[in-house]
Amino acid sequence: MKILQFGMSAEKTKGGIETYLINQIRCLPADVRYDFINSSDGPIAYEEEILHQGNVYNLGSRPKNPLKYYWRMLKLFWQIRNEEYSAFVSNCSDYSQDLPFLLAKIIGIKHRIMHAHGSGFENNISLLRRFMFAYNRLIVKFCVTEYWACSKKASKFLFGHEDAFIVHNGIDVSKYRYNDVVRKRVRSKYRLNDDTFVIGHVGRFSPVKNHLFLIEVFAAVKRQRTNAKLLLVGDNTNLDAYDSYLRKIQEKITLNHLDDDVIFTGNIENVEIMYQAMDLFLLPSISEGFGLVALEAQASGLPCIISTGVPHEVALVEETTRCELNDVDEWVGEILSICHNQKKRLDNADVIISSGYSAKDETMHVIDHLKELIAR
């Protein structure tokens, strides 16, 4: 069974969608293959690993040269028309792409699936872009045979209903189990003392992740807990992305005299080790389709505080608290309470697996569902 996948971003911008897909690839049975369409200029995330089991078709970036991009897409679908793909799956957060669905329908891919991974826009979008999304939605509706989503919230946002087939963002739980040796090694690398209280966040630097609020909360915490540090894990090389959002974050850090207290780690390949160094994980996102990083943090035994913009489904253990989106006092109070009552790290593996978030189990759930569709 061959599945054509769309929506895997470039290596430097990988996030929840990319993690979800690679976790599935690592659990695929031998009789299933995922091929990918690459719509970026460079290699897609995990490309080397993907090529061990499937193909990657390169189109180049659409914003850079739209006409060339669409021409290459037309040529690609014509070239693969005899590949006998069982399904086409587009992993997306909005309606910015409609042509792949239309071409998949034209070349006869019977099952065309739209998989929603987001529950809000990264930035404020213009009226023209909203019109484009509305137009694309009509095309997609004509072509799509089934809707998937990572949560009911994501389904409601993109499709207007909660009836999508829910695909849990599973993880390899064993990778995230707490390890004291790894903790000491990572904390030593970043010069974090044993008595330093490390607050962590993992995610790209875009407005939807709400870093400016995070810095405001941390500044208030720091005034009461001088031993606190903030660890920000994510690619911090592009200062101009998302209307210079990263520059605004850095300016706010300097304004609050936190330059020595906020640590930018850059892009980390084996992000699971970073959770070991933390004492508390925060996810103050304005919106999340699911919030996979919160699941990873819970798997590492961390207490977590997540915003009400994050779906409630991700809060699997008692040590995870949901706070109002931008209520600084509530966040600070919860953080200080955890600071004063630090507990031994728990092994949450059984809870996560029994809740349906094992990558292996969820991959088989998806494959069984696809096989059932194909057999109809």
Regarding whether 26 and 9 lie in a shared domain, the answer is yes
Regarding whether 222 and 82 lie in a shared domain, the answer is no
Give the residues of the chain that fall short of pLDDT 70: 122-123
Regarding whether 217 and 106 lie in a shared domain, the answer is no
DSSP string, 9-29: -BGGG--HHHHHHHHHHTT--
Regarding whether 189 and 162 lie in a shared domain, the answer is no
Contact 214, 264 (CB under 8 A): no
Regarding whether 226 and 148 lie in a shared domain, the answer is no
Regarding whether 162 and 178 lie in a shared domain, the answer is no
d(CA 130, CA 109): 29
Which residue type, as a one-letter code, is found at position 110?
K
Contact 272, 152 (CB under 8 A): no
d(CA 206, CA 307): 16
* pLDDT tens, position by position, 312-332: 999 999 999 999 988 999 999
Give the pLDDT score at 101: 92
- DSSP collapsed to 3 states, 269-292: CCCHHHHHHCCEEEECCCCCCCCH
Regarding whether 149 and 211 lie in a shared domain, the answer is no
Beta-carbon contacts of 327 under 8 Å, excluding residues fewer than 6 positions away, are: none
Phi then psi dihedrals of residue 371, to 5 deg: -65, -35
Centre a 10 Å sphere on the Cβ of residue 134 and count the other Cβ atoms it contains. 10
Regarding whether 102 and 178 lie in a shared domain, the answer is no
Domain of residue 243, residue span? 173-354
* pLDDT tens, position by position, 337-361: 999 988 888 899 999 999 999 999 9
Give the pLDDT score at 119: 77
d(CA 92, CA 17): 8
Long-range contacts made by residues 43-47, C-beta under 8 angstroms, separation at least 24? 43/10, 43/11, 44/8, 44/9, 44/10, 44/11, 44/18, 45/8, 45/9, 45/10, 45/11, 45/13, 45/14, 45/18, 46/8, 46/11, 46/14, 46/18, 46/21, 46/22, 47/11
Regarding whether 187 and 62 lie in a shared domain, the answer is no
DSSP string, 124-153: ---HHHHHHHHHHHHHHHHH-SEEEESSHH
Regarding whether 162 and 263 lie in a shared domain, the answer is no
Give the pLDDT score at 6: 95
Give the pLDDT score at 327: 94
Give the pLDDT score at 122: 67
Regarding whether 123 and 137 lie in a shared domain, the answer is yes
Give the pLDDT score at 126: 76
Regarding whether 151 and 195 lie in a shared domain, the answer is no
| Domain count across the chain | 2
185: domain CATH number? 3.40.50.2000
Phi then psi dihedrals of residue 155, to 5 deg: -60, -45
DSSP string, 67-103: HHHHHHHHHHHHHTTTS--SEEEEEESSS---HHHHH
